[in-house]
Structure 1
């Protein structure tokens, strides 16, 4: 892909992420194109179907979240790295509320995305958990899969509450991960 075309794709994905967070996945194509500083034709050239754009945004965000794990592991003690990664994951989930509806719509275009999600995020979180349990900073009786699902459930929209509420619930979960650290059984 030419450099200018790659810049257009990057701009479109960032614009779609922004538009999806504010207007949902049904945000008008013109809104996305305008935010990206390109024409609607450029949007459709790169993403002929709405599902193509949704999948690309989702995969890009999953990759960014997964890729943050080694950076956090290098910059922080293991328990803090887990906490920081879970907070990043919480932000990812909070900004993807419209995507969740699309992903669970039954559209076959999205069938592979749950597997992609677990394939990328499971090992990323798993490596952080392994280090944190080895250093006795986090309890050892929870798996990466359990934790990914628990945080996702805590990030479900609650009527009359915003994202701050979800963040507080995840903070409680993080505190609970520290309880009994070094004395728990390994996850099965």
Structure 2
């Protein structure tokens, strides 16, 4: 068998290359927060502890890096949302108890908003500025939507929760030029 007929096997990213990408993304987030997206590349690479060549190998254009930073933030938010709804879903009765009006739980929404609100606001603002998320979604809108996702629906299992998370995330997407935002179809094909 010659090499030309063998199917191409996708190469796994080397561990050091993956660490470099993660370091670059982390550094870029920090630098973008303090100096804006037009900050010198050297500032990012110095903070990441890599050379400029490494930056351009992974992100040939500045827009590639900005896009990757925004996407990684959106991915992190989506993963957090999935884990959070899964967590509450596994704690049967927790979400209704938290929404019961019991005075013992009164401080929890404020605590949650204090811890999550600023980070979520920053993420939404960056994603909206990049055109990835609708610009009319507030932190409170998103947090209330998440809270509603956490309320159990009788007779529905984890697949239903995953579908609702996917619909929420899809609904956050900014409309694409010439059309509306992507939408998930329902189970009956609509």
The normalised TM-score by structure 2 is 0.51
What aligned pairs does 1:27-66 form with structure 2 within 5 A after superposition?
27-66=39-78
C-alpha change, 1:85 and 1:41, in structure 2 (3 Å) is farther
Change in Cα spacing, 1:127 to 1:98, as seen in structure 2 (3 Å) is closer
Q: 1:78 aligns with which of 55, 76, 95?
A: 95
Q: What runs of 5+ residues in structure 2 fail to find an aligned partner?
A: 1-12, 100-107, 155-166, 174-190
For the Cα contact (< 8 Å) 1:19–1:27, is it kept in 2?
yes
Query: Residues 72-151 of structure 1: matches in 2 within 5 Å?
Result: 72-73=84-85, 74=87, 77-78=94-95, 84=112, 88=116, 90-94=118-122, 97=125, 100-101=128-129, 103=130, 113-114=132-133, 128-132=147-151
CA distance in 1, matches of 2:115, 2:172: 12
Distance 2:63 2:24 in 1: 14
- Whose radius of gyration is greater, 1 or 2? 2
Q: CA RMSD in A?
A: 4.3
Tell me the SS of whatever aligns to 1:132.
coil
* Counterpart secondary structure, 2:60: coil
Maintained 8 Å contact 1:33/1:43: yes
Determine the C-alpha separation between the residues in 2 that align with 1:8 and 1:99.
23
- Aligned counterparts of 2:123 and 2:31: Cα–Cα separation in 1: 10
> Which blocks of at least 5 consecutive residues in structure 1 are unaligned?
105-112, 136-142, 150-188
Q: Give yes or no for the alignment of 1:23 onto 2:35.
A: yes
Greater RCO (Cα-Cα under 8 Å, separation 6 or more)? 1
